[in-house]
Amino acid sequence: MGKSLPPKLIIGLGKFAWTTMWNVMMSNLAPRSQEGAYIRPESQFRQEVSDADASFPPAPQRYRLYVGLGCPWAHRTLVVRALKGLQDVIDVVVVQPLATTGGWVFASEHQGCKSLADLYRLAQPGYEGRSTVPVLWDTQTQKIVNNESAEIIVMLNAAFNHWAEYPDLDLYPDPLRPCIDQWNEKIYPAVNNGVYRCGFAQTQAAYDQACTELFQTLDELDATLATRRYLCGDQVTLADVRLFPTLFRFDVVYYGLFKCNRRRIQDYPHLGFYLRDLYQLPGVAETCNLEAVKESYYGSLFPLNPGGIIPAGPDLTSLTAPHAREHLGQVPQQSI
């Protein structure tokens, strides 16, 4: 009586309790393989807005994007919407992350729904899968057309050209598609999803593999961008759009919170200036919300940041500085 427990016992009990709870929370947040590697679930809604599809024909003000401003997958849809000039064609509704449930919610009730999960069930009664952003929604049929960002940006690039402010901007041109597709196949597992494979790894071996692949690919990207303004030459494409949201979040979130700390993007000789170049494209900066990014990751990913403390920085004014990349990549590239 009156004596405290020995520090060694306190530490041991605390470590056991936290590790047990962490494993339970991570199993729901980040499905894993037997080796402890993060496995991203597949998107469930994969239909298309197309002239060839009578169910979802192109039309202005018919479709809506549901996005979270902190989410990189949703961010890429906002970038294409801005570059194509579709602000008056496709509305956007922003959802907020809710740390207590790990889901997305509306600021106020929307279409009778309080959360994005409610919206998914409105579209498909009885739905019990993951409720993720972005969502391309058909306001006429009250259905989800698609919730796979890689497919949504292809639709935004081509399906709404009749009403787009910049219809001649083709982010997925036929001559460059082999190059774009090759980069996408390389960047998605190693970089876009690679940062999550680092942050959500549940064993040291899984983390080491993901981290090695991530920085090997960043090194390759940096070397490529020494001679090309964009990944496929002097024209911005969907390959750049898919890479940009990850680079924008890298030094802010992934470097520290996700343990991707071998090197910052701004420390690379070319990637940092390339990030500036993309950030300064017309309309892109307006899609970037640093505070929402920090809130989404530091405030909502409780297993990775139990204290919920959100860092004060960094200062993004460097992204508006000259990038001096205008002279690069004058000859389009057909492959990587």
Q: Is 63 in the active site?
A: no
Q: Where are the beta strands (DSSP E) in the chain?
A: 63-67, 91-94, 96-98, 103-110, 113-115, 135-138, 143-146
CB distance 67 to 92 below 8 Å: yes
The candidate with the shortest Cα–Cα distance to 49, out of 164, 174, 156, is 156
Q: Which residues pair with 103 in a beta bridge?
A: 98
Q: Is 71 in the active site?
A: yes
CB distance 171 to 181 below 8 Å: no
**Catalytic choice (38, 63, 66, 71):** 71
The candidate with the shortest Cα–Cα distance to 144, out of 164, 116, 163, is 116
Q: Report in angstroms the alpha-carbon separations of 245 from 27, 188, 331.
A: 26, 12, 26
Q: In 10 A of CB 11, how many CB atoms? A: 11
CB distance 207 to 198 below 8 Å: yes
- For residue 314, cis peptide bond before it (omega within 30 degrees of 0): yes
Rounded Cα distance between 112 and 119, Å, is 8
Query: If you write DSSP's letter for every residue of 194-210 in order, what string do you get?
Result: HHHHHHT--SHHHHHHH
The candidate with the shortest Cα–Cα distance to 49, out of 179, 159, 166, is 159
Burial 285-305 (b: 16+ CB within 10 A, else e): eebbbbebbbbbbbbbbebbb
CB distance 34 to 102 below 8 Å: no
Residues with active-site annotation? 71, 196
